[in-house]
Every structure is written in structure tokens, then in C-alpha cells.
Amino acid sequence: MPSFRADAFVFFGATGDLARGKIFPALAALAHSGQLDVPIVGVARSPMSIDEFRSRARSSLEAKGPVDENAWQALCRQLRYIDGDYRDPNTFAKLRKEIGDASHPLHYLAIPPSMFETVLEGLAKAGGTDGARVIVEKPFGRDLESARELNRTLHAHFPESSVFRIDHYLGKEAVQNLLYFRFANSFVEPLWNRTHIDSVQITMAEAFGVRGRGAFYDGVGTIRDVVQNHLLQVVSLLAMDAPIGSDAESMRSEKLRLFRAMRPLDPAQVVRGQFRGYRDEPGVAADSKVETFVALRLQIDTWRWAGVPFYIRAGKCLPVTATEVFVDLKTPPMSVFDPVSKARSNYFRFQLSPEVIVSIGARAKKPGEGMLGEDVELVATCCPENGGRSAYERLIGDALRGDSSLFTRDDTVEAAWRVVDPALRDDRPVLPYDPGSWGPAAAAKVVADGEPWHDPYPREQPASK
Ligand code: NDP
């Protein structure tokens, strides 16, 4: 399909949590930079006037800090609101009227997944899918079968080229830098294989719990919430081969090859945990078996990666809030000088949050007569995580222009579910762990040969719930 600019932006779920926290700030920034000079129409159930809707939008910007008045004015000029139930065809008739003669609207489904089909059908019946694009929020299905079903539903109304499955992780600067750093530096590629890399660890730690979203979280768990999507995407950027070009399809095809080479998880190599106190959270079942922590070992069956374990650890109520990739290089074949510290001498470390850091671990000689060394770290880049545009601003801007590079394709999303599906069917009990710890003790056994998990920096942060 030829690339065109969307001429209206419609977001379903306009009164929801995601709209408040992410979408309004992104829209204000896009409107301010002239990238959203089209009607912006919010659609939700709550009855309210346009002034009340504007005031919600304003409060969501204020919650992020001082409001840029130019950005606010630019957003305000375009903002419209339609109230109505998605099950009522009249809601879509009103929407059709509101967007007037727009022929290429971009529809954003920022709504509970149970409503996806209803909204798609409502749009289709009102003629709102012709020439349009759709952004679909995560979670994209609950398992492989439901993801396939959702793809079938989407394809009944939109060609794949018009479907933009959002994974906001792919819009993050630090995540894009994984790919950039690998393929923009000639010294990386010769090392980036099973000959030189011992293992790869990815830790996504949150020092807080479910933050009042217990009812949502209890229907999802850590594997569905962050592993199937964000963390497997990170693995794909770390492990894929160089794409033949920088266009969206070359990127996405290379990624798909990598996803297809990931071995479905072996439940024996997955440890699921649940923090003590989780079952007392509002909205959480008193006998919940849902994991708030997971540690797992992933294998990638390619010539580049055969035998190199990719370890993933993610969870809530851990000691810090940070996401970090640690690529452990093999030790030198023999020790000529001092005994080489096996634990942390040669590595690449990519911190994705709270800061964006790329660093390389090495040994250097200590000043003095003896040939004795110490571990040093060469910090390649370091900046705050939110130094540039927000991920949502970037991704909505891309979808408006029709650039799908950073969105997940149907075949890739299904391939990712195929990898995690066996772990979702694991009915062994979750292992309890204390808030503020690094999960259940059994997580240590996921890593081979007694190697340690590499805890992300900063090692200590005040816990917040
Ligand atoms: P909320 O429950 O906060 O909001 C749901 C929205 O949908 C509200 O605007 C609600 O309108 C509207 N809605 C629901 N049912 C109907 C209906 N029958 N007719 C009309 N409007 C309806 O959800 P979130 O904003 O938290 O999440 C939205 C999507 O984004 C979900 O898919 C979620 O998984 C995803 N997501 C959310 C994140 C977050 O931070 N919240 C993060 C990542 C993804 P009203 O309130 O007026 O009834």
C-alpha cells in the first residue's frame, strides 16, 4: 500500500489510563511540532462536554510537569470528543460525521482487548475502515491461539499493511540503539557470535508492585506482560542478523527469521515466582497462581547462537527499577598475568533504563611494578532515558506517516507466542519471594554452571510500592 499521511486521528479509550498517561502527552508534542494538524477525536463511554474533555487532557499534561502552552494550544485546536458505547452503531455514525471527509483516518484501539472486535466491526459497518489504519495496543492475545484469532479478526477489516501493533518498547531510544550500536560499529560483529559470547542476560526489574492495577495484572502475569513482547523484542534486536536494508520489511523479515529460530521455552528452565503480599492486593484472587517474577533460559538455534544461553529475568518488587542487557564475553584462553576475574571482566552492558548506557568491561593494569590488573568499564554513552521524544510520540508519529518499521508484524507476534506458550501452560505452583529480593532462590539455578545473575546498576534504590 502506498504511504500516505493520515488525515484524522481517532483514539478509542480516550478516558482511560493509557490516554491519560501516554497518549495525550504524545499528541500534544506531535501537534506542537506540526505533525498532527488534523482532527484528533477521542471516543469513550463517559458523557462529557468538549470543555470537560479538554480539561482532562490538560490535567494529563500537567501531571507530567510544566505545560508547554504552544503545545497545549496546538492540541486544543484539534481536539474533539464523542461519547457513546462501542456496542452502539450510533457511536460510529457520530464518529463518521465528526471526521467529515477524512479518507485516511488512523484509529488507535487504546481499549481493553475484549473490545477490539466490537470496535473493528462497528467501524467497518460505518465505512470507517476503508483507506484507514489501525493501531492495536498490547496485549496482543493471551497465547498463540488467541493471537491467531485476533489476527484473523483484524485481517477481516484491514490488510496487514494497515495494521500497527504497538510495542512501546520498540519506540525507546535505548532499544533502537541496540540495533544501531551493533550494526554501526565494525568491532562488534566479529565478536557477536558463539565463538566469543558466553551468555546473554536481560534483567527487567521493577522495585514496585502492581500499583493498584491488580485486577489487570492478575489476568496477565509477567510472561505475558513483558516477556512475550518487550523482552523477546530486545532479544531479537540483540541476536538478529544484519537486515539487507533499513526499510521496514527488510527489518521485520530478518527479525522473523530470528524469532523462528528461538526454541519454545522448556518449562524445566523457567522459574516463576510471586512476591509475598501479592494476593492481598485489591483485584488479585486470594489463591492467585499468577507470576510476578520469572527467570528463564532461552535457546536460539542458529549457527551464530547455538549453545549460547539467553537468560531473561523480570519481576516486580525487586531491589531496583532498571532494565539492563549484559553480554558476557568468554574469558581469555589462559591467564598470562594475574588471575582473570571470571565474573565480570569482558562484557558489553546496555542499560535501557533508568539511564541509557552502553559500556564495555575490560581489564587494565594497575599502576605499580607488578603485572596486576583491575576491572574497568569503558562507558560509551550515557544519558537519561527520556532525553528525547517519548516512545509513544515516536510511534504515533510513525503510524501517522505509515512507517511500520517499529511495529510488530502478524507472523512475528505469532512466532513470539509460540516461544512462550509452553511456559504459559506450566501448572507448577509459583514460588513465593520476599519483596525487595531478587526473586525465589531457585532463580539462581536457571543460570548454568553456578554463574551469577548480573544485577543492573544502580545496585540499590529506595523501594517504592
Ligand atoms: P482503561 O480501563 O483505563 O480504559 C478503558 C477505556 O475504554 C475507557 O476510555 C473506557 O471508557 C473505554 N471503554 C471501555 N468499554 C467501553 C465501551 N463499551 N464503550 C465505550 N467505551 C468503552 O484501560 P487502559 O487505558 O489502561 O488500557 C487500554 C489498552 O491499553 C488496553 O489494551 C491495555 O492493555 C493497553 N495498555 C495500557 C497501559 C497503561 O499504562 N494503562 C500500558 C500498556 C498497554 P469510559 O471510561 O468512559 O467507560
- Domains defined for the chain, CATH in brackets: 8-137 (3.40.50.720), 170-389+405-450 (3.30.360.10)
Q: How far is the CA of 138 from the centre of ligand 1 (A)?
A: 11
Alpha-carbon torsion, ordered 314, 315, 321, 326, to 10 deg: -20
Ligand 1 centre to CA of 123 (Å) is 17
Residues with CB under 6 A from ligand 1: 13-18, 21, 44-46, 85-87, 110-113, 115, 137-139
Looking at residue 462, what is its pLDDT?
47
**pLDDT at residue number 246:** 85
Angle at 117 between CA 115 and CA 123, to 5 degrees: 100
Nearest CA to ligand 1 atom 46: 15
Torsions phi, psi of 447, nearest 5?
-80, 130
pLDDT digits (tens, 9 = 90+) for 200-258: 999 999 999 999 999 999 999 999 999 999 999 999 999 999 999 888 899 999 999 99
pLDDT for res 340 = 55
CA distance 237 to 255: 7
The closest residue, in CA terms, to atom 28 on ligand 1 is: 111
How many A from CA of 12 to the centre of ligand 1? 8
- Tell me what pLDDT residue 336 has: 81
230 catalytically annotated: yes
pLDDT at 458: 65
Probe residue for ligand 1, chosen from 11, 12, 17, 224 as the CB with the greatest number of ligand atoms within 8 Å: 17
Eight-state DSSP code of residue 277: T
Mark 128-149 as b/e (b = at least 16 C-beta within 10 Å): bbeebbbbbbbbbbbbbeebee
Cell of 101: 471527509
Q: Please give the pLDDT value at position 139.
A: 87
* Per annotation, catalytic residue among 107, 157, 168, 230: 230
Distance 215 CA to ligand 1 centre (A): 13
For the chain (465 residues), the mean pLDDT of every run of 10, in chain order, is 83 96 95 90 97 96 91 93 97 94 95 93 93 94 96 96 95 92 95 97 97 94 97 97 91 95 97 98 97 98 97 97 96 77 77 92 90 88 70 95 94 97 95 98 90 79 47
pLDDT at 418: 98
What residues contact 256, with CB distance under 8 A and at least 6 apart? 409, 411, 412, 415
Q: What is the pLDDT of residue 372?
A: 84
